[in-house]
Amino acid sequence: MDIKDPKILYEKFQPPAGLEFVRYLFKIRAQEVDILDFKLKAGLPRKKNEPYAPVEHMLPNDREIIAKGISAFSNSAGGVLVWGVDCSSSGGTDIDAVTNLIPLKNPKQFYGDIQTALHELTKPAIKVDCHIVFVDPDQMDQKLQEGYIVMFVPPIDSARFPVISKVDNQCYVRVGGSSIKPAPDDLVRMERQRASGQLKDYSLAYRGPLRHMLEYHRHDADLAAYAKVVTEGEWPQKIKSMDCAIRYIENSFGRSNPALIPAWTWMKVLYGNNCQSKEGDVYIDKAVALCRELNLTHDPDMEFGNILSLQAESLAARGLAQEAIAALSEAVAVMEKFPEKYKPETIDDWVYDPLASAKADLTDPKKWVAESQQRRAEDGRTSFSFPIPTDFMITRNKEQNESD
């Protein structure tokens, strides 16, 4: 699993695909990491060889685990706590991995206990998102229901640091797959980092593909520096900086890191608007391929519909009519599934509606393919026939006005 942002990870557990994702973690024998922790519900004392039997209501051990988890995740980069998943060592190894799924009986009972107790578990109290992933969503009898409880703990700002567990009056941080007590000097260092802005969320300054790229590594100042040049630099620097950002992601986080998808998408946008569309073809093809490889095609935050529309235009410009029409048809289907992500956007006196534009192109696909090829052939022509982030448009309009 190669997800670095806890909020994006939490979205994976949302319906309708939440149960499938839980089972996927079991299938790949996922391990606990800095943003993910698995827990089993506490049960009554049992004798040796007796089966594990969790109780429905919250026990003191559950309170201790929740308080410790909230403290550790909130003092770090945030994280997700999943109840009902057994993560332990097996097969003669010392590596903890998901070995069994043991959903909670009557999960609404424990869910309600969590909501009631949250305000008294940590100091300060932290707002935690929480939901149930039902094994059988159609089961109406609460006593027969089974499910997993998923909790999302956000990172806290410097003004509220550190967060302390009120159960044992201890402070925790997340290191790898463990929640540990930091040394006093580590606490001082972390507090200074937060106060100085070293843990600033750089993704908030952007929108569109650049924001998606930074969200995976939101506190990475070096990656944010590349993004700044892309929006504020001249055209040669924009492309060079984005290329450096791609290499930085590959070297630091791996060649299948999800942040590469929006990074490659931006390269297609940059090349497409610099009258070198052929140079951007390879990037958008890579973005679509990695989206499919990581099963992110229906992730609303990835805006796969926009990525597909870019590839469709690229395929049409290359004269690959059948492939282009198929990509555009899929883009329309994705946009219709997540309409809130593809609302018409007003930029000054220009309105762009990605769904309406894609549907219009499909009404006469032969004409659309021919026009795309013509635009590719006309060197020096700029086309805005795909969604462009507002910060990009502001930079582009400013450059055009200065040249006029």
Is the domain of 230 the same as that of 96? Answer: no
**Looking at 128, 151, 184, which one is the last position of a domain?**
184
Is the domain of 206 the same as that of 277? Answer: yes
Q: What is the CATH number of the domain that holds 73?
A: 3.30.950.30
> How much is the average pLDDT of 109-119?
92
Is the domain of 237 the same as that of 348? Answer: yes
> How much is the average pLDDT of 287-298?
88
Report the number of distinct structural domains present in the chain: 2
Task: Please say if the pLDDT value at position 394 is more than 60.
Answer: no
**Is the Cβ–Cβ distance between 106 and 122 less than 8 Å?**
no
Q: What is the CATH number of the domain that holds 215?
A: 1.25.40.10
Rounded to whole angstroms, how far apart are CA atoms 216 and 296?
14
Rounded to whole angstroms, how far apart are CA atoms 28 and 44?
30
Neighbours of 67 (CB within 10 A): 24
Angle, to 10 degrees, between the axis of helix 60-74 and the axis of helix 107-117? 60
Of the candidates 41, 36, 121, 131, the residue with the CA atom closest to the CA atom of residue 78: 36
**What is the span of the domain harbouring residue 109?**
6-184
* Model pTM score: 0.52
At 400 the pLDDT is 44
**Is the Cβ–Cβ distance between 330 and 309 less than 8 Å?**
no
Task: List pLDDT tens digits, range 119-178.
Answer: 899 988 888 999 999 999 888 888 899 999 999 998 876 556 788 999 999 999 888 788
Is the domain of 218 the same as that of 353? Answer: yes
Q: For the stretch 182-202, what's the b/e string if a residue is b when 16 or more beta carbons lie within 10 angstroms of its beta carbon? A: beeeebeebeeebeeeebbeb
**Looking at 154, 184, 214, which one is the last position of a domain?**
184
Neighbours of 167 (CB within 10 A): 18
Task: Tell how far CA 22 is from the center of its chain.
Answer: 16
Q: Hey, what are 353's tokens? A: 């509606």
According to DSSP, the residues that pair with 316 across neighbouring strands are none
In a domain, 191, yes or no: no
Is the domain of 362 the same as that of 318? Answer: yes
Rounded to whole angstroms, how far apart are CA atoms 196 and 210?
24
Is the domain of 390 the same as that of 312? Answer: yes
Task: List pLDDT tens digits, range 196-251.
Answer: 655 677 887 887 788 888 877 777 788 999 999 998 988 889 999 999 999 999 88
Is the domain of 208 the same as that of 253? Answer: yes
In a domain, 206, yes or no: yes
